[in-house]
Structure 1
Amino acid sequence: MPEPLRLLQVGAGGMGGVWLRTISDNPDVVLAGLVDLDLDRARVAADEHGYADVPVAASLEELVDRSEADAVIDVTVPAAHPLVSISALSYGLPVLCEKPQAETVRECLRMIAAAEAAGRLLMVSQSRRYLRLGAAFGRQLAELGPIGSLSCEFFKAPHFGGFRERMAEPLLVDMAIHQFDLSRKLIGSEPVSVYCESYNPSWSWFDGNAAASAIFRFADGTRFTFTGSWCALGLETSWNSRWRASASGGTAVWDGDIPPVAELASGEALPAVVADDPEQIAGSLVEFVRAVRTGEPPQSEARSNLMSVAMVESAVRSAATGSRVQIADILEESQAEAISAETDDRILAVLKSWDPRTAWHTAPLGL
């Protein structure tokens, strides 16, 4: 048996606690250190989760040399992801970063370039890729043949308080990346364009647009439609959404909480096969460990995950302009902006090396 990977976790807030529990439940990893700007919070979090002997620090730099870490888990707020992840990569440490990878495509590109310059893995934790029922739904779709249309409905009414209720596009920016990312996995193709409208119902308690509808065209011709609201009173959907796929060989539906149902064109039922795999961030951590040990690219390697962030940014632009947006335009503009703003010569060289016409239509970077 190989030795457990020694992990440095950066971030001890709300999700930080969830990750600490996940690390403690996985025998293939061990916590080597915990970093948070609030040292008292880091110490309390470490102690509460059984890590009284684990060192804490206010910066990654303080622990890298004395922790003998093998990798970093970045559980900071999205605005801090570029700084933390790029710093870890510069120390030669692979990184598993919480979603969203960054707040903009431009920042994601910088992080991807830093990973390539360092020759280290940067993976994003897209937890809904690791739902057993979602995986069963995906297996049904694979048997049904080419997908013509995939639809997703998401209707909840949470009262978060705080920053989410003040955001300009809370549903699209803070939530929809889950559904957008899962659509890419289920369809098995990449998005090309989007038309989106966002709005705020009169009874909404959000300052910004808490509801949206979007239609994406994928490279293989599939249409993915998303409609949702964060101020939907009554008959709420699952947090995993409600899904329906129409394919050449039949139809499959999944309500997000119970096993999916599929029917072949012949009228015969196609049973769901639900495996006993690790779920959500536990599944993400298992895949990260395997990728670090084997060099096999994980499904949410940062270069691949970029397209999910681009879907969000493109939908927001479409809603703002009232027009269809080509996702390639977002990628090319973001690359130009990243090049213009970059001051690190190694990262800049990588950014300039990418051909924007082809860079995002290739397999994930080798590790």
Structure 2
Amino acid sequence: MSTPLVLVGAGGMGRAWLAAIQAEAGAELAGVVDLDLHAARGALADAGLAGVPVGTDAVALARETGARAVVNVTVPAAHHPVTTAALFAGLPVLGEKPVAESVPRALSLAAAAEVTGELFVVSQSRRYNRQLFAFREQARTLGDLGVLTTEFFKAPRFGGFRDEMAHPLLLDMAIHPFDTARFLLGAEPVAVYCEEFNPSWSWYTGDAAATAVFEMTGGVRYAYTGSWCSPGQETSWNGSWRLSGRDGTALWDGDHEPVLDGPSAAAEGADPGDGIAGSLATFLAALDGGPAPMGEVHENVLSLVMVAAAVESAATGAKVLVDDLLERAYDEALATETREDVRAQLASWTSVRAALDTAEATAPRA
């Protein structure tokens, strides 16, 4: 039996999600929400779904149509209000990255998920890649791990808001490899030093190139270097990866099978599905009693924290300790939270790290 969903956002990514929902046998598109109803109707018409209801309020349309969950593909500034409203209306949410526009708002959403008992998952769609899972299996054969590196060099001319952003590479793209690094290493960020700059030929207003070195739990280092204005010999959109361990090295170019140079053969790894389709499928399975998917809000927040810490380090020229950033974000979340129930839940946390690591908090509602 298919699950009726309301899609919120009819822009470019909204249209991609609309196609994914159409292709997923376990999903049914109940309605599309956008502040621009013309955009919502246009997206539906282009998909051959002109009769699907539209609206400007996700909760209202879900109630009208009997939708069981919300797919939130709004701009980052709208992630917090749209998701909060849905959760408190009893609607699980699958949202686009980032979890929220800031770490304090992300902590608010984690607490809201706890208060409501509803599932909130952030679609880190680049985790849904069979080659990445194989690379992670290879990592497990390398013994103690030392250094993971990512090189990312592309030259896209997007136009629009990215060209005007202050930190286009770090804020809009780096969350993908940062999240992937956490996934590959099974480790969390401890500290980071980052430098940003803008090459003389860059067509971006903000810094389009960056290098960041993270200390991760267990002592392993993760080094990222990238540019969004680097024409010629471009890497994969997934980046180019190298993982060095005590017993060998694994390489992944982001587009083909990873290569292991080590003492033992690696398992092939699971097939998690592909991109947003895989993310949608695991979300739907969780709604029917399956395990919490990758990207559940508590598990996902530290990927956004890595971005925020790198931006702060680049701005200050100093190494940033992740726990310091988390404590400041927590204080701000408490000070700015407008819902008393969510604020009380935040206040009950004895430590931010512990709250984000709590298995009980991440369990979906029965």
**TM-score normalised to the size of structure 1?**
0.95
Question: d(CA) in 1 for partners of 2:343 and 2:285?
Answer: 30
Q: Secondary structure at the match of 1:100?
A: coil
Alignment equivalent of 1:174, drawn from 150, 172, 175: 172
Deviation sequence 1:162-194 (CA, Å, 0-9, x none):
111111111111100000000000000111110
How far residue 276 of structure 1 moved from its aligned partner, in angstroms, is: 5.0
Is this contact kept in 1: 2:133–2:271, CA < 8 A? Answer: no
Question: d(CA) in 2 for partners of 1:302 and 1:197?
Answer: 28
Question: d(CA) in 2 for partners of 1:211 and 1:185?
Answer: 24
Corresponding letter in the other structure for 1:119? G
1:236 to 2:234 alignment: yes
Superposition map of 1:118-197 within 5 A = 118-197=116-195
Alignment equivalent of 1:310, drawn from 305, 309, 316: 305
Q: Secondary structure at the match of 2:362?
A: coil
Question: d(CA) in 2 for partners of 1:151 and 1:120?
Answer: 36
Alignment equivalent of 2:332, drawn from 326, 333, 337: 337
Who is 1:72 aligned against?
Answer: 70
What's the RMSD between the two structures over aligned residues?
A: 1.5
Who is 1:14 aligned against?
Answer: 12
Corresponding letter in the other structure for 1:145? G
Superposition map of 1:213-362 within 5 A = 213-264=211-262, 266=263, 270=265, 273=268, 276-294=271-289, 296-356=291-351, 358-362=354-358
Q: 1:275 to 1:337 in 2, by over 3 A?
A: closer
Superposition map of 1:60-99 within 5 A = 60-99=58-97
Q: Secondary structure at the match of 1:54?
A: coil
Bigger mean CA offset, 205-214 vs 352-361? 352-361
Deviation sequence 1:265-303 (CA, Å, 0-9, x none):
x4x6x4673655420000100111111111522121011
Question: d(CA) in 1 for partners of 2:269 and 2:59?
Answer: 43
Corresponding letter in the other structure for 2:12? G
Identity %: 51
Corresponding letter in the other structure for 1:215? V
Corresponding letter in the other structure for 2:363? G
How far residue 214 of structure 1 moved from its aligned partner, in angstroms, is: 0.5
Who is 1:39 aligned against?
Answer: 37
Q: Which runs of 5+ in 2 are unaligned?
A: none
Deviation sequence 1:23-57 (CA, Å, 0-9, x none):
11110111111101111111121222232332111
Is this contact kept in 2: 1:148–1:222, CA < 8 A? Answer: yes
Is this contact kept in 1: 2:137–2:269, CA < 8 A? Answer: no
Is this contact kept in 1: 2:62–2:68, CA < 8 A? Answer: no
Corresponding letter in the other structure for 1:305? N
Question: d(CA) in 2 for partners of 1:227 and 1:284?
Answer: 27
Q: Secondary structure at the match of 2:218?
A: coil
Is this contact kept in 1: 2:4–2:66, CA < 8 A? Answer: yes
How far residue 157 of structure 1 moved from its aligned partner, in angstroms, is: 0.8
- The count of residues paired between Structure 1 and Structure 2 equals 362
How far residue 67 of structure 1 moved from its aligned partner, in angstroms, is: 1.0
